[in-house]
Amino acid sequence: MIHPLRTAFIALAVMLLLTTLTTSCKIQLISDYDSVLDQDVTTLQQSTETFLNQLQNEVGTPAAAYSANTDFYVKTNASLATMATRAASQPKSKIIVGEVNALQSTYTDMQKLHQLNGDKGLSAANIANTRSALESEFTSILTLELALKANAAVPSGALAPAKTQ
Amino acid sequence: MLAAAQGSVTTGWNTLAPFAQTQFTNIAQQIVDIEAQLAAGSITQTQASLLLDMQKNASRAALLSVEGIGLLTAQNAINAALGAVATAVNGALGFALL
């Protein structure tokens, strides 16, 4: 025969376990929406688009040379380093950190290509290919950020409507 | 519990499918273009390597976003199911224990 106290203890343990599982243990698998990072990515995209448009207009001229445009790379590398640090400071941010790192790598490639071309600067075709890669990356980051933002706007209770009597 | 989780999965897929198709199609077109430029001699091997590396980064970013939206979808589905458990327990008990 099971002692009544033992039965009460088991029932209490089960209730505490259920309470813990369903109230304090909401699962988090990915970082929350970050409005600052969202804005930083958008700002970087805008400044990059301006830079590429400028280079496109200056193709074949001395103004297109790498030596005339090092300022852009200095500022952009600093922005990206700041974004990477901020992304890494958030919990469960492996995905966003990976995307920022991919963006850093593309800007490094772009800088190397520009340096390689020396006084000629980037050709129209180089600019088109580079722009396409960057647009794709910006779209990837912003699509994820928008999904996180939309998720943050949904109250958690809306996912499981109450059916209490 | 299943119905609660299903809604989250459908929402995630509706975001993911068009995004993934567009991104990977664009990247594939760019790779073909770069290889054509190399074959035509309008870019060097070194230039082609840098341009292709950019497309590799773009692919990586797209795949990370697919993974990220997948994780978000799974997170919401699990939390919805956990919420449904709480609802079911409260309904059975007749009061809001959880």
Of A130, A117, A121, A127, which is closest to residue A65 (Cα–Cα)?
A121
Domain count of the fold of chain B: 1
Range of the domain at B16: 2-93
Distance, in Å, from the CA atom of B67 to the CA atom of B65, rounded to the nearest integer, reads 5
Residue B88, pLDDT > 90, answer: no
pLDDT tens, B4-43? 566 666 667 777 888 889 999 999 999 999 999 999 999 9
Residues in A touching B5 (Cβ below 8 Å): none
Confidence of residue B87 (pLDDT cuts 50, 70, 90): confident
Distance, in Å, from the CA atom of B57 to the CA atom of A138, rounded to the nearest integer, reads 11
Distance, in Å, from the CA atom of B77 to the CA atom of B74, rounded to the nearest integer, reads 5
Task: Find, in chain A, the residue whose alpha carbon is nearest to that of B20.
Answer: A140
From A29, A105, A156, residue closest to B71, measured CB to CB: A29
Domain count of the fold of chain A: 1
Terminal Cα-to-Cα distance of chain B (whole angstroms): 15
Confidence of residue A8 (pLDDT cuts 50, 70, 90): confident
pLDDT tens, A42-89? 999 999 999 999 999 999 999 999 999 999 999 999 999 999 999 999
| Dihedral sign, Cα of residue A127, residue A133, residue A135, residue A138 | negative
What is the DSSP secondary structure assignment for residue A39, as one 8-state letter? H
From A22, A144, A165, residue closest to B85, measured CB to CB: A22
Nearest chain B CA: its distance from A118 CA (Å): 12
B57 in reach of chain A (CB within 8 A): yes
A163 in reach of chain B (CB within 8 A): yes
Q: Looking at residues A91-95, what average pLDDT do you find?
A: 95
Residue A128 lies in a domain: yes
Residues 6+ apart with CB under 8 A from B98: A18, A19, A22, A23, B85, B86, B89, B90
pLDDT at B9: 64
Place of tokens 């990515």: A41
* Single-letter residue type at B61: A
pTM for the predicted model, two decimal places: 0.81
Residue A29, pLDDT > 90, answer: yes
Confidence of residue B84 (pLDDT cuts 50, 70, 90): confident
Nearest chain B CA: its distance from A103 CA (Å): 7
pLDDT tens, A101-148? 999 999 999 999 999 998 999 999 999 999 999 999 999 999 999 999
A66, A137, B22, B35, B96 from A106: Cα distances, Å: 16, 9, 20, 18, 53
A22, A24, A30, A34 from A132: Cα distances, Å: 45, 44, 27, 25
The answer to whether the CB atoms of B85 and A15 lie below 8 A apart is no
Residue A148 lies in a domain: yes
ipTM above 0.85, yes or no: no
The answer to whether the CB atoms of A110 and B61 lie below 8 A apart is no
Residue B98 lies in a domain: no
Residue A158 lies in a domain: no
Compute CA B26 distance to the chain's CA centroid, rounded to the nearest angstrom: 16
pLDDT tens, B42-63? 999 999 999 999 999 999 999 9
pLDDT at A20: 59
Range of the domain at A87: 35-152
Residue B86 lies in a domain: yes
Terminal Cα-to-Cα distance of chain A (whole angstroms): 36
A 48-107: CB under 8 A from B: 95-96, 98-99, 102-103, 105-106
Distance, in Å, from the CA atom of B9 to the CA atom of B35, rounded to the nearest integer, reads 38
Nearest chain A CA: its distance from B40 CA (Å): 13
* Single-letter residue type at A47: S
Place of tokens 């976003």: B65
